[in-house]
Amino acid sequence: MMVASNLRHAFRHLRQSPGYTATAIVTFALAIGANSAIFSAVNTVLLRPLPVESPENLVVVWQTDEGGQAVVELTYRHLREWTQAGSIFTDAAVMGSHNWSAVLLGRGEPSRIWFNGVSAGFFDTLGVRPLLGRTFRAEDDLPNARAVAILNHATWVRRFASDPAVIGTTMTLDGHGVEIVGVMPPGLDFPHGAELWRPVVPFLASGTPPDTTILERVGVFYVVGRVRTGVDGTAVRGDLNALEARLDAADAGRLKWGATAVVTPFVDHVFGPTRPALRVLWAAGAVLLLIACANISALMLTRISRRHQDNGIRLALGATPGAIGALWLVEVVVIASAGGALGLGVARWLTHAIVALAPDDLPRVGDIAIDATVALFTFGAVLLVALVTAAIPLRHAGRTSLLSVFGGDRSTAGRSALQVQSTLLVIQIGLAFVLLVTAGLVLRSFIALRQIDLGFTPERVLSLTVQPGHTGRPPNLWLHEFLTRVRELPGVEAAGAVYLRPLMLGPIGDSVRVLLEGQPATREASAANPTLNYQVATPGYFETMKIPLRAGRLFTDRDTTGMPRVAIVGESTAGRLWPGMDPLGRRLVIPTYSADRESGWRTVVGVVSDVRYRGIHEVQLDVYDPAFQATQTASSIVVRGSHDPLALAAPVRALARDLDPSVLVDSLTTLEAVVARAEAPWRLAMWMFVLFGALAFGLAALGLFSLVALDVAHRRREFAIRLALGESRAGILRGVLLRAGRRVLAGLALGVGTAIVSGRAVRGLLFGVAPDDRLTYALVIGLVLLAVAAAAYLPARRAVSADPQSLLRSG
C-alpha cells in the first residue's frame, strides 16, 4: 500500500515538473543505452569464451628483422628446432600466416574455398576436439601423405548441408581428391576466414621425390605455442632469441630469417586492435554513466532544496525522515526505469552503428545484438544508477528538520545543496574533460590516418581476383588479353593487374632479399641488404592506381620474356639500395629460394611512389617485376571507372567468362572499401568517443547551468540589496561568473590530471599523436571554457537584469 502511494506521489510530482522529468529520463536513456550497446559488443566479442582450452596460455610467434620489416614469417624448420629445445612450449604447431585458396569442384559452380595449412599438432595445441571425425595425425603431415582436410563448422553447414556422413568422403580441390576426416565445433574461426584446414607438409613438399628442402627455405608460417601458466611473452621472447643465437653459432651455414622474435598473446592476435578499443570504450561508457548519475543527483538536489518546506511540513505531520527518503527513492527509480526502457532503443541503434563501424574480420561481430543478457545488464544498470544517483540527495533530504524549516534560516538547505552540487559539478567537468581529450586524440589520430599518402588513389577503382582455368597459355598472357578487352568496356578509364593488391593480406606479403651489382653472390651479402616487398605488375597497373612515376618509365607491352629483364622500384627502395645515386640503370638480382620465382639480373627502368601494401601505417620497400617476365601470376585485377566502379562488376565478370568459361572471378570490392576496412578500428573508436565526449560535455554544461541558476536563485535578495545600494549589474554579473569559474577551473585541474594518468590506456588507439598532445589539451580546454562561460552567463544575466523590487518581493 505504501509503495502504491509513493508511486502515485512520484508520478504526480514528475508530471508537475515536465522539464526536469524529460531531462532526467533522456540523460539516463543516453547513458544506459550507450553502456548497454558497448556491453553487447564486449560481451559478444571479448567476454564470451573462445572455443579453445586456456587461451591465456597460448601465444602466436613470428619474427621481425633489423631492416624494419615488422613481420618476418617462419619456416617449418623453426617449429622443429623450437620444439626440440623442449623448454619453451609445452605444445606448438605452425599455421599459415594467411589463408590460401583452392577451387572447389563438384559441388555446384566452381568456387574458391579458403584454407589454412597447419602442422599435425595444431588442434592439440589449441586444445580443441572435433565435432565429427578426428583431428590430424602425425602420418598426415608427411611428404606425399594422403591428402586430408578438416572442415570449419560454418563450411560444413553452408557447403555440405550439415551432412553427418561427410566424414570419409572426398572433395575435389584444384582437381585433386581430398578426404574429409573431421568437422570442428561451432565458433572455431582461427585463423579467421579459414573454411578448412589441411596438413601443410604434403601440400608444400609434394612431387616425386618430394622436395623437403622447401620446409627449410620458405617462410610462410606463424608458430602458435602453449606456454606454462605464469610465463609471460617477455620471457618467451627472451628464450627464443637466446635459442636462435645458439643455433646460429652452432651452424655457420644456417639460413637466418628475422632478428628478433615477436610474441603476441593469442587473444590479442585473434581480436587485433579492436580489443583495446572496445575495452577503452567500455571504460568510457562507465565514465559517461557516472557523469549522468552526478548530473541527475545535482538536479535532484535542486528539487529537494526547492521543496524543503514541503518536507518540513511532512515531518510536522508525523512523517519520518525514512519515509521522506522513500518518496524520493521511488521517484528516481521511476525515472531510471523509464530511462532504461528508452535506453534499450538507444542501445539497439548504437549496436547497429558498432556493427557497421567495426572491422568485418572481427570475430563474432555479426553476433552483436541486444539479447537477454544485454537486457539483464540494462536492468542491473537501472538499479545501480538509481541507487548511486539517489544516494547523495536522499542523505540531504534525510537531514531536513523542523528547526531548519520553521526556525527562520531559509537559506541553510539551499546553501547545503549548493555545496554538494558544486562538488558534483567539479567531478562532472573533470570526467567530461577526460572523455573530450580522449575523443580529441582519437579524432586527430583518424585525421592523421586519413591524410597519409597511400601511394595510390582508391576512388572509383574496382578490385577483383581472376583465376583463369586450363587455357593452355601462361596465366599472365591470358590476363593480358583479358585486360586489353576490359579497357575497351564503356566507362573504363584504365585497367591493370598486380600480384597482391594493397592491403590484401594485412602485414603479410612476399618478401625477398636482393643482390646488387658489384656485391659478391653469397647468402651473407644478400642478408645484409634490406628485405623488399616483391610484386608483379602488368602494363596499366600504375596508371590505374594513379601511382606517381618519380623517374624513368613504367612497364609496357614490350617488357616480355624475349627482352632484357627490367624492374621498377619504390622511391624508398631506391634511397635504401642506392643512397645519393641515380637508381635508373642500376642492376639487381633476386636469389631464387623457391621454384615459382625465376632468378636473374634486372635493370631498374623506373621509380614510383611508395605504396602502402601491408598496412596503412607502414611503408615497405617495393620492387616490381613485369608480369610478362615473371612466373608469379598477377591475379589481382584493378579497374578504374568513370563513375561507380561496382557498375563495372557485371560486364567485367561476363567478359572473363566469355574468354574462359572455367574462369573463377571473386573477391569483388572497391579500393575505397578496402581502405575503409583498414581504417575501421580507428573509425569505430573515433565515432564512439566523439559521441561519448559530446554527451558528457553536454551533461557537464547542463550541470553548470543548473548550479548557477540555483546559486542565483538563493542569492536574489542579496543581489537586490546590492543593486539598491548602487553596485553595478556588471559587477554582480562578474562576481557570479568568477564564482562559477573557480568551480570550472577545479574541474579542469581534476580532468587534466586524470587525463594524463589515463593517457596510457588509449596509446594503442592513437596514430601520429602522443597521449599528452598539447594542442589537443589546449583545444579542449578552450572549448570547455567557452561553453561553460555561456552556460554560466545565461542564468546570471537573467538574474541581474531583473528589477530589484521584484527580486526583494520574490526573495
Could you report the per-residue pLDDT of 356-384, keeping only the tens digit for each? 887 777 777 778 888 888 888 888 877 77
CA–CA dist 761, 286 (Å, integer)? 15
Which conformational region is residue 516 in: left (phi greater than 0), alpha (psi within -120 to 50 degrees), or beta? beta
Three-state DSSP at 767 gives: coil
Find out whether 378 and 345 touch, Cβ atoms under 8 Å: no
Per-residue model confidence (pLDDT) at position 341: 87
Nearest to 611 by CA among 538, 540, 546, 682: 546
Q: Average pLDDT of 225-236?
A: 87
Could you report the per-residue pLDDT of 104-130, keeping only the tens digit for each? 988 877 888 999 999 999 999 999 999
Find out whether 97 and 73 touch, Cβ atoms under 8 Å: yes
Q: What is the 3-state secondary structure (H, E, C) of 530-551?
A: CCEEEEEECCCHHHHHCCCEEE
**Ranges 204-213, 391-400, 484-493, 652-661: which has the least confidence:** 391-400
Nearest to 764 by CA among 687, 689, 681: 681
> pLDDT higher for 47 or 313?
47
Dihedral through CA 668, CA 669, CA 670, CA 676, nearest 10?
A: -160
Phi, psi of 496 (to 5 degrees): -165, -175
Find out whether 146 and 137 touch, Cβ atoms under 8 Å: no
Cβ contacts of residue 52 below 8 Å, gap of 6+?
58, 126, 127, 128, 188, 190, 266
What's the CA angle centered on 235, arms 233 and 236, to 5 degrees? 65
Per-residue model confidence (pLDDT) at position 802: 59
Residue 597 has pLDDT above 60, yes or no: no
Residue 186, number of CB atoms within 10 A of its CB:
12
Helix (H) or strand (E) holding 421: helix 412-450
Per-residue model confidence (pLDDT) at position 593: 45
Nearest to 156 by CA among 145, 148, 147, 164: 164
Per-residue model confidence (pLDDT) at position 394: 62
> pLDDT higher for 85 or 100?
100
DSSP assignment letter at 517:
T
**CA 317 distance to own-chain centroid:** 61
Cα distances from 459 to residues 60, 119, 504, 544, in angstroms, run 36, 41, 17, 11
Cβ contacts of residue 165 below 8 Å, gap of 6+?
none
Q: Cell 552540487, residue? A: 421
Dihedral through CA 447, CA 451, CA 456, CA 459, nearest 10?
A: 50
> pLDDT higher for 578 or 390?
578
pLDDT tier at 799, thresholds 50, 70, 90 = low
Q: Domain limits of the chain?
A: 1-57+289-410, 73-257, 427-447+681-811, 469-662
CA–CA dist 292, 700 (Å, integer)? 9
Q: Strand runs (DSSP E) across 611-763, as ranges?
A: 622-626, 636-641, 664-670
Go through the chain and tell me how many residues it has: 811
Cβ contacts of residue 410 below 8 Å, gap of 6+?
none
Residue 66, number of CB atoms within 10 A of its CB:
12
Nearest to 157 by CA among 176, 129, 132: 132
Could you report the per-residue pLDDT of 425-461, keeping only the tens digit for each? 788 888 888 888 888 888 888 888 888 899 999 999 9
Per-residue model confidence (pLDDT) at position 405: 47
CA–CA dist 166, 767 (Å, integer)? 48
Residue 502 has pLDDT above 50, yes or no: yes
Cβ contacts of residue 470 below 8 Å, gap of 6+?
662
pLDDT tier at 594, thresholds 50, 70, 90 = very low
Q: What is the mean pLDDT of the chain?
A: 83
Per-residue model confidence (pLDDT) at position 426: 83
Q: Max Cα separation, the chain?
A: 109
Q: Average pLDDT of 401-414?
A: 48
Nearest to 366 by CA among 352, 376, 378, 377: 352
Bond before 502 cis per omega within 30 degrees: no
pLDDT tier at 103, thresholds 50, 70, 90 = confident
End-to-end, the C-alpha distance of the chain in Å comes to 39
Three cell numbers written together for 671: 579500393
Three-state DSSP at 247 gives: helix
Find out whether 328 and 394 touch, Cβ atoms under 8 Å: yes
CA–CA dist 538, 559 (Å, integer)? 10
Residue 528 has pLDDT above 70, yes or no: yes
Helix (H) or strand (E) holding 96: strand 91-96
Per-residue model confidence (pLDDT) at position 595: 43
Residue 778 has pLDDT above 70, yes or no: yes
> pLDDT higher for 555 or 521?
555
DSSP 461-500: EEEEEEE--S-SS-HHHHHHHHHHHHTTSTTEEEEEEESS
Find out whether 607 and 552 touch, Cβ atoms under 8 Å: yes
Q: Average pLDDT of 39-59?
A: 86
Which of 156-160, 543-547, 747-751 is predicted most confidently? 543-547
CA–CA dist 18, 232 (Å, integer)? 57
User: What b-and-e string marks burial along 283-321, b requiring 16 or more CB atoms within 10 Å of the CB?
Assistant: bbbebbbbbbbbbbbbbbbbbbbebbeebbebbeeebeb
Q: Average pLDDT of 177-194?
A: 92
pLDDT tier at 413, thresholds 50, 70, 90 = very low
Q: Average pLDDT of 183-211?
A: 86
Three-state DSSP at 100 gives: strand
Per-residue model confidence (pLDDT) at position 808: 56
Three cell numbers written together for 570: 619504390
Three cell numbers written together for 545: 592506381
pTM of the model: 0.79
pLDDT tier at 410, thresholds 50, 70, 90 = very low
Q: Cell 618509365, residue? A: 553
Residue 183 has pLDDT above 90, yes or no: yes
**Ranges 112-121, 193-202, 327-336: which has the least confidence:** 327-336
Per-residue model confidence (pLDDT) at position 463: 96
Helix (H) or strand (E) holding 626: strand 622-626
Burial tier of 758 (Cβ tally within 10 Å: 0-12, 13-18, 19+): middle
CA–CA dist 139, 137 (Å, integer)? 5
Could you report the per-residue pLDDT of 140-150, keeping only the tens digit for each? 999 889 999 99
Helix (H) or strand (E) holding 576: helix 571-577
Could you report the per-residue pLDDT of 535-554, keeping only the tens digit for each? 999 999 999 999 999 999 99
Three cell numbers written together for 308: 524543503
> pLDDT higher for 300 or 492?
492
Phi, psi of 592 (to 5 degrees): -90, 110
Cβ contacts of residue 281 below 8 Å, gap of 6+?
38, 41, 685, 688, 689, 692
Residue 412 has pLDDT above 80, yes or no: no
Per-residue model confidence (pLDDT) at position 809: 58
CA–CA dist 285, 550 (Å, integer)? 48
Dihedral through CA 597, CA 603, CA 607, CA 608, nearest 10?
A: -30
Per-residue model confidence (pLDDT) at position 710: 64
**Ranges 109-123, 346-360, 791-805: which has the least confidence:** 791-805
User: What b-and-e string marks burial along 719-731, b requiring 16 or more CB atoms within 10 Å of the CB?
Assistant: bbebbeeeeeeee
Per-residue model confidence (pLDDT) at position 281: 82
Per-residue model confidence (pLDDT) at position 406: 47
